[in-house]
Structure 1
Amino acid sequence: MTPKELRDFCLSFNAAEEDFPFSPEISVFKVRGKMFALSWIEARPLKVNLKCDPEDAVRLRSEHPELIIPGYHMNKRHWNTVTLDGGLPDRLVRELIEDSYDLVVAGLPRAERLRLDRP
């Protein structure tokens, strides 16, 4: 996945926004003000921090130890850092991003979820 593909995919979700609260180089993708992905878009290799169910996080790290690690500068129970250097199938990467978005949306108040058409 290229930086442009990552940005485009993250912004394809309902109400997704890109913000730069930490520095101009670090893209933070949010839904209703809550972060679901964080990436230094220009870094090589490209990496992205994604929210993850704690049990899935441990499983993914054991299945892909070189490419999925505990979230860098994040709560390591709930976040993974995923390396996007072509070592993981694009389908899996897209699923991980969508899962992160869905986890954040699930934590929003019901009225917000309904506005996003994702009960």
Structure 2
Amino acid sequence: MDLHTVRTYCLEKKGAIEDFPFGGDIHVFKICGKMFALLSNRDGILHISLKCEPEVCEILREQYPAIKPGYHLNKRHWNTIEADGSIPTEEIFGMIDRSYQLVFKGLKKAERERITNSLRIK
């Protein structure tokens, strides 16, 4: 799994944008100004930080050694994945979907409707 693949997948999400508030080497993906994914290369390894329910965060960390508490994030609600090939791609895509859905559900109703309605018009 590489940065381009994950970046493309994140940008395919409804209303998703890419931003660089922490510098050019950290790709931040947001919906209505709220982060759902961060990508960075550290020591030649792609790191993907994703939001998650606290109980699911713990299960994933126990299941996969490449998943750690969120790097420079709320460790209760975020995981950081070292994309070293030990986690199946589809599993990572599922974690991205979960993160996006958590953030989407937390948006104001008007924001959710705006995103949903803008996609129907296209």
TM over 0.5: yes
1:42 Cα deviation (Å)?
A: 7.1
Tell me if structure 2 keeps the 8 A contact 1:27–1:41: no
Paired residues in the alignment total: 117
Unaligned runs of 5+ in 2: 118-122
Q: Which position in structure 1 is the counterpart of 2:13?
A: 13
TM-score by length of 1: 0.93
> What secondary structure, in the 3-state scheme, does the structure 2 residue paired with 1:46 have?
strand
Tell me if structure 2 keeps the 8 A contact 1:25–1:40: yes
More helix by share: 2
Q: Which position in structure 1 is the counterpart of 2:63?
A: 63
One-letter code of the match for 2:83? L
One-letter code of the match for 1:55? E
Distance 2:21 2:71 in 1: 17
1:116 Cα deviation (Å)?
A: 2.5
Tell me if structure 2 keeps the 8 A contact 1:3–1:42: no
**What's the Cα RMSD here?**
1.5
Unaligned runs of 5+ in 1: none
Higher alpha-carbon Rg: 2
Distance 1:69 1:11 in 2: 24
Deviates more, 1:109-118 or 1:80-89: 109-118
Q: Give the percent of matched residue pairs that are identical in Structure 1 and Structure 2.
A: 46
Tell me if structure 2 keeps the 8 A contact 1:61–1:69: yes
1:31 Cα deviation (Å)?
A: 0.6
Distance 2:95 2:59 in 1: 13
One-letter code of the match for 2:22? F
Alignment of 1:1-119 (within 5 A): 1-41=1-41, 44-64=44-64, 66-117=65-116
Distance 1:2 1:55 in 2: 28
Tell me if structure 1 keeps the 8 A contact 2:47–2:82: yes
Distance 1:12 1:50 in 2: 16
Spell out, residue by residue over 1:48-71, the C-alpha distance to the aligned partner (whole angstroms, 9 max, x if none).
Answer: 11000111000100111x210100
One-letter code of the match for 1:81? T
One-letter code of the match for 1:7? R
